[in-house]
Structure 1
């Protein structure tokens, strides 16, 4: 059953994303650490340019983060790091097998990086994961959401592990505090949860705010794409949904500006799904998976990993997505008024 925050959410068709004709915009290089796959890029605007922190895997299969700085068009790669800008710390037991799926939130004059820290459970406390890995079946895979900060996308400071006792993924902070507290969207399988903290170290979980929908394209699991984008009508949250055939698609939801636990609306159908060859064949076929979007020069630019192999771009005019958010907000308000009258 839906939570109280979602039970009256408006379900409304949203504008579909349009693929950029230059796709894929980022592919593997000959560098040993990124010569297999590059995908799932965080996106943020820094000094007027879109910066992509992308997940890369090379000869050792370990996930590291590379940096690509895009030109003013938000498409063309202007600069690309020859070495990882962020990689697993040798002395950090949480991330011995990689740093994965980054998401970047600007807050004040700094940037907060949330990423999946991958490691193994100790042999005395095995927990077998169903996740396929190059290390074989039955591996006790452990994943946590880790948080770091940066001011320049080249130097990072590790800050905390959120919810240290839970397997967790798909984390991102809201771009402002609420009552002096950080809010974190995260995924405790199979749904999107909301956590709160005053110091990034001690977390309370509100529980799920967005649930799977049986019999639909997002019936198996859901998780956020990038951090939510502010609009005058609510927080625009792009998310991924997975069906029983394990096809990954993107949808969108709208959260209340002042109380993000409240889901105002949600798209009925995907706004992007695997159709192109580079999305249907690769390391993991039939996947479009985003870790970041930016509101940039009148467009919502959604950067996404295709088949866990390359980085691509899809776009929608800001005015079209804001029109959807405005309609959702209006319908939600009317539904709320009718519900209140019905209780009188």
Structure 2
């Protein structure tokens, strides 16, 4: 069976949506030279230049002058005089060390669909959703952004007959994007922190030296002081010591909190890389609405932080898509990409699927969503269209028949297709069925993009007895496809694994 594309509903990258980002050309000496040049301007010239900058860029951003002031606070110490400056001159200096970044200029893809926490004000039968998307811009840096929309039952035609697919309407998108302030975790636990460093392959002697100088619970500032001391005193080659020091501090900075203003539209909320482990991107968030035993709902997302060399599995959590906490995922069973949490505990434990060896799909259980130590193989490539590798396309979806898992398979010419399999509700190690053929394959202009011949999803939902699949097209843009749920489940049950 094949999924049906939803016509007329697509999400394409828009290069006009720009962030302001720190800009630092060259080293401190060059920065001092730039500031010295600004200091030669008269007050009138400073005012004129600042007026021009705010007129040229003010309508492209919210709070632009606030960011200029912050940038002056970060670079102002490099000026050659301690004399007080006018606010206008400080803001102009900040402007020279700021640049625009078009965060989705290259791509807007790999969507994950979740039901919106706010379902008020809708027509009968309709449901509001959130899409998380991977946005990629200059330098192939990926960030996380959001869209929203409403899905409704199929409408009738002139004869009163219902259409085939649900109606999907995307909410308008504003011109602005905003990143929040980041706050580091207040304290860390020494034993767990040390284990994670060793999992990451940080030099053992350096880890032992650092951990030996810390209390059982320590703060970021305490860690930074100890790391600097170890970097200076440990008998290691300077380059090795510096790499180890950067890795230790980078791990601590990977655990943080952010919060957006309550009145900021969802489409303007951007989670941009802000830590050493994320410097090259936040990739492929897989969101799930998790219901705990007491009924509490938390929205979790597993994602990959990438520093240009190493992929770091991370966990994001939020109660409302305004406040977020990011934490490292720990344990040898999370050493790869593509984790997807189940939406509730199974047998009193958290459960997760993932491609932990880059080839097969595994199942994992844990008492804590941040720690995963054991894995069992669940699926291996068996069909020609998936001989290269398998992976999951989002979190498992609960149905009456079992856990429905969207998957991806890679075949000849590195062609990515979307498939599906079904797991037993009580014992998900039991595979009840598996599609022998792809559910969705790249076709027509979907084959053209940054990475050709790819369809990929990070999670769908069930609505009005239809499986809704948001999917990326060749790592460039995103669209939607639908599948009648009953037909899909019947096909899976006819094809036991």
Q: Secondary structure at the match of 2:313?
A: strand
Equivalent in the alignment of 1:87: 271
CA distance in 2, matches of 1:34, 1:295: 28
Displacement of 1:93 in angstroms is 3.3
Q: Secondary structure at the match of 2:387?
A: coil
Gaps of 5+ in 1: 1-14, 121-140, 333-344
CA distance in 1, matches of 2:336, 2:139: 24
CA distance in 2, matches of 1:281, 1:223: 22
Asked if 1:148 corresponds to 2:316, the answer is yes
1:80–1:210 Cα change, 3 Å:
farther
Displacement of 1:287 in angstroms is 0.4
Paired residues of 2:406 and 2:419 also in contact (CA < 8 A): yes
Equivalent in the alignment of 2:131: 52
Structural mapping, 1:207-246, within 5 Å: 207-213=376-382, 216-246=384-414
Displacement of 1:195 in angstroms is 1.8
Asked if 1:297 corresponds to 2:390, the answer is no
More strand by share: 1
Structural mapping, 1:16-165, within 5 Å: 16-31=2-17, 32-46=102-116, 47=119, 48-73=127-152, 75-80=168-173, 82-83=176-177, 85-90=269-274, 92-108=275-291, 109-120=297-308, 141-163=309-331
Structural mapping, 1:246-257, within 5 Å: 246-257=414-425
Paired residues of 1:144 and 1:163 also in contact (CA < 8 A): no
Equivalent in the alignment of 1:135: none
CA distance in 2, matches of 1:27, 1:251: 26
CA distance in 1, matches of 2:143, 2:273: 11
Q: Secondary structure at the match of 2:363?
A: strand
Displacement of 1:172 in angstroms is 0.9
Displacement of 1:325 in angstroms is 4.4
Displacement of 1:118 in angstroms is 1.0
Larger Rg: 2
Equivalent in the alignment of 2:70: none
CA distance in 1, matches of 2:334, 2:290: 26
Q: Secondary structure at the match of 2:347?
A: coil
CA distance in 1, matches of 2:129, 2:324: 18
Paired residues of 1:33 and 1:60 also in contact (CA < 8 A): no
Q: Secondary structure at the match of 1:204?
A: coil
Displacement of 1:104 in angstroms is 0.7
Q: Secondary structure at the match of 2:103?
A: helix
Q: Secondary structure at the match of 2:277?
A: helix
After superposition, what is the alpha-carbon deviation per residue over 1:214-241, rounded to whole angstroms, capped at 9, x for unaligned? 6x10000111012111111111111000
Aligned length: 293
Displacement of 1:166 in angstroms is 5.7
Paired residues of 2:312 and 2:328 also in contact (CA < 8 A): no
Equivalent in the alignment of 2:79: none
Displacement of 1:180 in angstroms is 2.5
Asked if 1:191 corresponds to 2:360, the answer is yes
CA distance in 2, matches of 1:326, 1:154: 40
Displacement of 1:202 in angstroms is 2.4
Gaps of 5+ in 2: 18-101, 120-126, 153-166, 180-268, 292-296
RMSD: 2.1
Asked if 1:173 corresponds to 2:341, the answer is yes
After superposition, what is the alpha-carbon deviation per residue over 1:254-277, rounded to whole angstroms, capped at 9, x for unaligned? 111111122121111111111121
Tell which has more relative contact order, 1 or 2 (C-alpha 8 A, sep 6+): 1
CA distance in 2, matches of 1:318, 1:63: 33
More helix by share: 2
Paired residues of 1:144 and 1:164 also in contact (CA < 8 A): no
Name the TM-score, length of structure 1 as normaliser: 0.79
